[in-house]
Structure 1
Amino acid sequence: MSGIDDGYGENTADVFAELAIELHQSDGVEETVEAVLQFALQAVNCTQAGLALAQRGGRIEIAAVTGPVVETVYQLQIDTGEGPLIDTLRGGHTMLIRDAGTETRWPEWGTKITELGLRTVLHIALQVNDRIGGVLSLYSREPDAFDDDDDAVAHILARHAAIAVATARHEETMNLAVDARKLVGQAMGILMERYEVDGDRAFAILRRYSQDTNTKLRDVALRLVDTRKLSSPDPVGPDHKSPPASR
């Protein structure tokens, strides 16, 4: 595996042990995906790399790229809804295009990526427990650039990335949930002190505003904490001595 030896001067086991440690120490999704791409550039015979994440509602997020050409190719597929990236996200199958210049399945994509100087493309799904969380994409300027060793290393890298990204996303979600609880608690405290109501009543007021304004409860609480009032059909503010009736 020449890419690994040239890049690290270490054997494969050492390289992925180092990767596992770095991913474990990464702070959040952004640092995690950046670390994955940097390892990809050194461990696989590729010239560009990218990582796209699947979001709720079928939305695709361009999480990290090593160059603007990758972002251009990603965005084309997101805009048109077709291309090897889209197929990998939908089916979870590895997509290897040995020469984009002769690819006929996605004509617009093939023309664009060839114009940008990329020929070999490898998309690997980031999959944990049958859930596809994203795609790792590797590119080369040369046709048929990836050998069996590159393919094997890329798949190992994708497995590490899938677990690391899933863990980082879960931790971010948990942190947001903790922050939301803190905000709601602070907002309830403001209402309880201002209107001399108990906790249940304060929470009912917040929930009513959330429903009436179609605003997330966290955002309602944040507004109250920041401004000490709520702009709504039945406002709570310093000039209002009684809270609105809860439903």
Structure 2
Amino acid sequence: MSDHAPAALPEPPGLIGAGPPASMLVKLAEQAAACAPACCGAAATLTIDESGPAAESEPPTGLTHPDLAPLVAVQWESGEGPIPAAIRTGEPAGTDDLLAEDRWPEYRTVALDAGVRSCATLPFRHEGVTVTVTVCGFRPGLMDDQTRTATALVGDLATHTLVRDQRFEEVLTEADQLDTAIRTRPVVDQACGILMHILGCDAETAFEILRQRSQRTNSKLVDLAKTVVGNRGRGVEAEVVSEPHLLRGGLLPE
């Protein structure tokens, strides 16, 4: 970590850009560091409100320097520190001097070992997503009003960008799932028709039989349907009727 402020001004927040959350968080951390003249490094994290700081896996994080990784990791492990506090309360958290700080003992120890004396975390929430920006300093008294305003502007705009991209990815995933369902539906319908003819059952029962066999054999429904269609249902009656749970469940007559 450098003891000097970055020479260049941060690029406009609107140019944070698109991409995977981790790469965008790195850019956000870099811009936050550039906004704070006394900053020696910065970190940015992204959490979904349902997971929070106690999630089993560490949330996506962007760092200006790898030396900051232990400072972030100890907060996720202990559930204490400025980042978890900011996520829980929705309010800024930090300290002007860690030597005089009695909260977050585990974080305090790791931070002081790294030479960090002050830190400030700003949280930004939008549509169920929380982004935090943490700036660290080698000296006490890191944040002034001008630094806080500039960091807040960068963080807020970045959060909206991250949420927008996340929603876009969700839409693409849903569209892909719908496309898959549309393309695979005909073969499932054919398999159901074969079962209806062989077993003398209705469409709902035929689909339920396919679904249960798919779960029990740990195979995809569409793959099982392709097998039924490819074999033209040969052997299906013997296999299905020999399964007692179908009889007990009332799907087929005894």
After TM superposition, the score normalised by the length of structure 1 is: 0.71
* 1:87 corresponds to 2:52: no
The residue number in structure 2 matching 1:11 is none
Name structure 1 gaps, 5 residues minimum.
9-14
> Offset of 1:124 from its aligned partner?
0.4
2:45 aligned partner, one-letter code = A
The residue number in structure 1 matching 2:40 is 47
* 1:102 corresponds to 2:100: yes
1:98/1:143 contact within 8 Å kept: yes
- Out of 183, 202, 213, the residue aligned to residue 186 of structure 1 is 183
2:111 aligned partner, one-letter code = I
Structure number with larger C-alpha Rg: 2
Looking at structure 2, the residues matched to 193 and 127 of structure 1 have their Cα atoms a distance apart, in angstroms, of 48
1:118/1:141 contact within 8 Å kept: yes
1:125/1:132 contact within 8 Å kept: no
2:75/2:81 contact within 8 Å kept: yes
Looking at structure 2, the residues matched to 125 and 64 of structure 1 have their Cα atoms a distance apart, in angstroms, of 15
Distance change >3 Å, CA 43–CA 191, structure 1 → 2:
same
Looking at structure 2, the residues matched to 203 and 162 of structure 1 have their Cα atoms a distance apart, in angstroms, of 48
Distance change >3 Å, CA 209–CA 97, structure 1 → 2:
farther
Looking at structure 1, the residues matched to 171 and 163 of structure 2 have their Cα atoms a distance apart, in angstroms, of 12
Classify the secondary structure of the residue corresponding to 2:60: strand
Distance change >3 Å, CA 172–CA 152, structure 1 → 2:
same
Classify the secondary structure of the residue corresponding to 1:160: helix
* 1:161 corresponds to 2:158: yes
Looking at structure 1, the residues matched to 213 and 102 of structure 2 have their Cα atoms a distance apart, in angstroms, of 50
CA offsets per residue over residues 211-231 of structure 1, 9 Å max, x none? 957x9xxxx7xx566xx349x
- Out of 103, 114, 117, the residue aligned to residue 115 of structure 2 is 117
Looking at structure 1, the residues matched to 161 and 210 of structure 2 have their Cα atoms a distance apart, in angstroms, of 35
Looking at structure 1, the residues matched to 213 and 21 of structure 2 have their Cα atoms a distance apart, in angstroms, of 29
1:163 aligned partner, one-letter code = H
Match runs of 1:26-65 below 5 Å: 26-45=18-37, 46-55=39-48, 56-58=50-52, 59=55, 61-65=59-63
Looking at structure 1, the residues matched to 206 and 29 of structure 2 have their Cα atoms a distance apart, in angstroms, of 45
> Offset of 1:69 from its aligned partner?
3.0
Name structure 2 gaps, 5 residues minimum.
197-202, 241-245
1:120/1:140 contact within 8 Å kept: yes
Looking at structure 2, the residues matched to 93 and 85 of structure 1 have their Cα atoms a distance apart, in angstroms, of 10
The residue number in structure 1 matching 2:136 is 139
The residue number in structure 2 matching 1:70 is 68
Distance change >3 Å, CA 166–CA 240, structure 1 → 2:
same
* 1:7 corresponds to 2:4: no
Aligned-pair identity in percent equals 15
Classify the secondary structure of the residue corresponding to 2:120: strand
2:41 aligned partner, one-letter code = Q
Looking at structure 2, the residues matched to 203 and 40 of structure 1 have their Cα atoms a distance apart, in angstroms, of 59
Looking at structure 2, the residues matched to 80 and 36 of structure 1 have their Cα atoms a distance apart, in angstroms, of 25
Computed over aligned residues only, the root mean square deviation of the Cα atoms, in angstroms, reads 3.8
Distance change >3 Å, CA 64–CA 210, structure 1 → 2:
farther
2:22/2:60 contact within 8 Å kept: no
1:57 aligned partner, one-letter code = S
2:40 aligned partner, one-letter code = T
> Offset of 1:92 from its aligned partner?
0.6
> Offset of 1:102 from its aligned partner?
2.1
> Offset of 1:174 from its aligned partner?
1.6
Distance change >3 Å, CA 207–CA 195, structure 1 → 2:
closer
The residue number in structure 2 matching 1:171 is 168
